[in-house]
Amino acid sequence: MKRAVFPGSFDPITIGHLDIVNRGLKVFDEIIIGIGENTDKKYMFSSDKRAEYVETVFKKNNKVTVKTYSGLTVDFCKKNNSNFLIRGLRNPSDFEFEKSIALINRKISDIETVFFLTSIENSYISSSIVRELIRNNGDYQLFIPKGITI
């Protein structure tokens, strides 16, 4: 069975994340969405709330599980018997940033990173933009999966 981890903060989950998971399921038998704690980030939502949102989106999909973690993502992968990471790429700067992390991860472990390009219609969406819409009473519902109430 091919199991992959899709790590991120998911603060909040967007339709771009949903797209990456759905396309990842065409390649992998199971995807673990790893909701990480990054000490450099200031979150809008608690890790429990972020996990709740993601679980709501995938509650009917038995190929997707949701877990929270702290520490190195490669350690989380090993703990969950996964040799693959999934990352979404929106633009060239995403690629440069993610490439560096993927190379380091490969150097310190046997974890391979698989990149998925975002769909054109989702390439401009980011959690930080959605948070800004939420803070300023904008129409954020256009950019998060249906079924989530914030």
Q: Which of 17, 50, 82, 87 is catalytic?
A: 17
What CATH topology corresponds to 3-143?
Answer: Rossmann fold (3.40.50)
Residuewise pLDDT in 10s, the chain (150 residues): 899 999 999 999 999 999 999 999 999 999 999 999 887 888 999 999 999 999 999 999 999 999 999 999 999 999 999 999 999 999 888 999 999 999 999 999 999 999 999 999 999 999 999 999 999 999 999 999 999 988
**93 belongs to the catalytic site:** no
pTM reported for the whole predicted model:
0.95
**23 belongs to the catalytic site:** no
pLDDT given for residue 84 in this prediction: 98
Q: Which of 2, 41, 63, 135 is catalytic?
A: 41
Q: Which of 9, 50, 82, 127 is catalytic?
A: 127
**Distance from C-alpha of 12 to C-alpha of 59, rounded to nearest angstrom:** 16
pLDDT given for residue 149 in this prediction: 87
**Distance from C-alpha of 41 to C-alpha of 88, rounded to nearest angstrom:** 19
pLDDT given for residue 39 in this prediction: 79
Q: Which of 90, 99, 106, 131 is catalytic?
A: 90
**127 belongs to the catalytic site:** yes
